[in-house]
Amino acid sequence: MPISPRAGQPAAPSDLVDVPRLVTAYFSEHPDPSVPEQLVAFGTSGHRGSSLRASFNDDHIAATTQAICDYRRGEGTDGPLFLARDTHALSEPAWVTALEVLAANEVTVLVDSRDGYTPTPALSHAVLAHNHAGGGRGTGTADGIVVTPSHNPPSDGGFKYNPPDGGPAGTEVTKAVQDRANALLAAGLRGVRRVPVARARAAATTGTYDFLDAYVSDLSSAIDMAAIASAGDRIGADPLGGASVAYWGAIGERYGLDLTVVNPEVDPTWRFMTLDWDEKIRMDCSSPYAMASLIRRRDEFALATGNDADADRHGIVTPDGLMNPNHFLAVAIEYLFAARAGWPAGAAVGKTLVSSSMIDRVAGGLGRRLLEVPVGFKWFVAGLLDGSVGFGGEESAGASFLRRDGSVWTTDKDGILLCLLASEILAVTGSSPSARYRALADRFGAPAYARVDAPATREEKAVLAALRPEDVTATELAGEPITAKLTTAPGNGAPIGGLKVVTASGWFAARPSGTEDVYKIYAESFQGPEHLARIQDEARDVVASALKGSSRAAT
């Protein structure tokens, strides 16, 4: 897709969302259950949409929350439900809707004791802390809801359920919740229990929890905070107007760090952001355009970091600039598996199959098992929970890892943790993460990596998601023999919802978009940019041929 000439430039008044209109539409607009785009639809990170498109409204959240109540009751989940929200304009009203339904269903709900914003990793941490030690709140298994569309534009809302394992809900859970929610929508919300917000807040089942203190005070169990403090490196942390805004100041103060919260402002229009590649305001801390303001200040700090709106993603800025997410994942893995003596000897390196093959080479150099899974952090949850996966990361700047003693920290992506790891790496080794990546590239080769989109109809996307290895008739890719044709992930055998084709020095993966009439082509080459371009060009031909062959076989 072409990059706008305005990318990286400050947002103009015309770019800003009309917040009153957005919130009014949340309550006044009602979805039509006969329109697929207006139904509840859980992707890899919950249900997302906009009130202006009738895809994220009061009806959706009431129905989805009731569906979660029904689901957890059926599963015997009888402990507290932790309820969190980020800084998007639609998060506050959706949080209220959820609380009204939860209270009416007599669910014990724990909300933030500071009435503040809560990062996704702090919610995961809270769920796991309760379920591991009872949380000091009696018996019962806890779960959670976080109201966030992650890095999405200001007009969007999001709603995500984390079951008792603390991580993103798996497909079997989200399908049950989604189907029940849509049935409630079709029934005109008959079956949804609800009380006014004043009653919900005053209910005996509604309590509070100090998410910030519980999370921040426990960080030294996962990160060498003493080493960071001792090094005295000047650190800049940019919450990008998101839920980590109060957390970074608390971290700096508690651990005595030379840390500056670069931008402590919260504004639901995000007027202080620079525009992303397509002129949208998007809190994507892996985008050089969204992170342009922080990048311009990189010389003020030994290390600067950014997080998206719910702080489940990380962006690492060194004096060299913004690191590619794949590059930092490789550096993090190389450092952690050498530095964490308390980790299980058999703990695997987890990656999604569209992450860089540099990770494969680093894992091999460490003598560690590689667990390659489909896109979605949910695939790492069980391994992080039982310690069989030491680190799980995905190409979109999301990752988490074990505590220093090898026990579970979070089972959802933790952008704050990864940003602090970058500071630990600098403090302990004396080298920046970008310098350490250059050393890895000298040792293993320097890959070129990119993602592009190609047009596809809804029918073509359905065929792509159901391809089989035998549908690929090509034997070579960009001048090299094809060594693997994958439609299931090597690490767990789960369907990848697309296709990955591998050679000795490159690969591509094609996956249908869940929201647009395109498919995504991820590609990488260890032979440089020109070879990468060949892989990308030939990938379109390979996919087109496979789609035709599969379509003919189906008829």
Q: Is residue 374 part of a domain?
A: yes
Helix (H) or strand (E) holding 25: helix 19-28
Boundary-marking domain end, from 215, 249, 266:
215
Same domain, 400 and 269: yes
pLDDT in tens, 432-455: 999 999 999 999 999 999 998 888
Residue 135 pLDDT class (50, 70, 90 cuts):
very low
The answer to whether residue 3 sits within a structural domain is: no
State how far the Cα of 221 lies from the Cα of 199, in Å rounded to an integer: 39
pLDDT at 132 over 50: yes
What pLDDT is attached to residue 453? Answer: 86
**Which residues are designated catalytic?**
150
Domain holding 122, by residue range, is 17-215
Question: pLDDT category, 279, cuts 50, 70, 90?
Answer: very high
Q: Is residue 95 one of the residues assigned to a domain?
A: yes
Residues 199 and 242 in one domain: no
Predicted confidence at residue 513, as pLDDT, reads 81
pLDDT-based confidence at residue 515 (cuts at 50, 70, 90): low
Rounded to whole angstroms, how far apart are CA atoms 366 and 368? Answer: 5
Asked whether residue 376 falls in the same domain as residue 460, the answer is: no
The pLDDT score that the predictor gives to residue 120 is 98
Give mean pLDDT, residues 493-509. 96
User: Is 4 contained in some domain?
Assistant: no
**Strand residue runs (E) in 15-138:** 42-43, 46-50, 81-85, 109-112
The DSSP secondary structure of 55-70, one letter per residue, reads SSSHHHHHHHHHHHHH
**pLDDT (mean) for 29-57:** 94
Report pLDDT digits (tens) over 190-200: 999 999 999 99
Q: Domain boundary residue among 444, 461, 489?
A: 444
CATH label of the domain that carries residue 47: 3.40.120.10
| pLDDT above 60: residue 552 | no
399 and 333, same structural domain?
Answer: yes
pLDDT tens column, 78-106: 999 999 999 999 999 999 999 999 999 99
Is residue 182 domain-shared with residue 268, that is, in the same domain? no
Query: Please, are residues 246 and 215 in contact by the beta-carbon 8 Å criterion?
Result: no
Going through 244-388 in order, the beta strands assigned E by DSSP cover: 259-261, 303-307, 314-318, 321-322, 348-352, 370-373
Q: Which residue carries 């999604």 as its tokens?
A: 352
Among residues 191, 215, 239, which one ends one of the domains? Answer: 215
> How many CB atoms sit inside 10 A of residue 210's CB?
15
Residues 268 and 149 in one domain: no
Q: Is residue 453 located within the same domain as residue 439? A: no
Whether 224 maps to a domain, the answer reads yes
Residue position matching structure tokens 């091999």: 364
Tokens 């060498």, residue? Answer: 224
What's the average model confidence in pLDDT over 499-521? 90
CB distance 364 to 445 below 8 Å:
no
Task: Tell me, yes or no, whether 190 and 305 share the same domain.
Answer: no
Q: Is residue 477 located within the same domain as residue 547?
A: yes
Tell me what percent of the chain is helix, strand and coil, each rounded to the nearest 5: 40, 20, 40
Asked if residue 15 has pLDDT above 50, the reply is yes
- Do 133 and 260 lie in one domain? The reply is no
The reply to whether 50 and 162 lie within a common domain is yes
Number of domains, the chain: 3
Question: Which of 334, 335, 336 is closest to 365 using CA atoms?
Answer: 334
For residue 366, is it within any domain? yes
pLDDT band at 549 (very low <50, low <70, confident <90, very high): confident
In a domain? residue 344: yes
CATH number at residue 524: 3.30.310.50
Whole-angstrom distance, CA of residue 16 vs CA of residue 5: 18
Q: What is the mean pLDDT of the chain?
A: 95
Instruction: Tell me, yes or no, whether 319 and 259 share the same domain.
Output: yes
Indicate whether 10 belongs to any domain: no
Question: Does residue 390 surpass a pLDDT of 90?
Answer: yes
